[in-house]
Chains A and B, each alone.
Chain A
Amino acid sequence: MTAIAIVTMRSILSVVMLSGIYSLISATLFIILDAPDVAFTEAAVGAVISTVLFLSAFAITGKHQTLTRKNHWIAIFVVVVTGAGLLYSTTDMPPFGAPDAPVQQHVAPRYLSQAETEIGIPNVVTAVLSSYRGYDTFGEVVVVFTALIAVLLLLGRKKGSSGEGNS
Chain B
Amino acid sequence: MRRNPILREISHFLLPAIMLFALYVQFHGEYSPGGGFQAGVIFASAIILFAILHGDKKAENVLSLGLAKVLAAIGVLLYGGVGIASMLLGGNFLDYDALAEDPITGQLWGILLIEAGVGITVATVIIAIFYTFSKYKD
Contacts and interface: CB of A to CB of B under 8 A. Distances in A.
Are A and B close enough to touch in the complex, i.e. CB under 8 Å?
A: yes
B30 A122 contact: yes
Instruction: Specify the main secondary structure of chain A where it touches its partner.
Output: helix
Interface in B106-138: 107-108, 110-111, 114-115, 117-118, 121-122, 125-126, 128-130, 132-138
Contacts of B117: 141
Given A138-B80, A165-B56, A131 B110 contact: yes
Kindly state the interface size class of chain B when it binds its partner.
Answer: 35 or more
Contacts of A144: 121-122, 125
15 contacts: A40-B33, A44-B42, A118-B103, A118-B107, A123-B29, A126-B115, A130-B36, A131-B110, A138-B80, A141-B122, A142-B76, A148-B128, A148-B129, A155-B132, A156-B132
Interface of A: 36-37, 39-41, 44-45, 48-49, 52-53, 56-57, 60, 118-123, 125-127, 129-131, 134-135, 137-138, 141-142, 144-145, 147-148, 151-152, 155-156, 159-160, 163-166
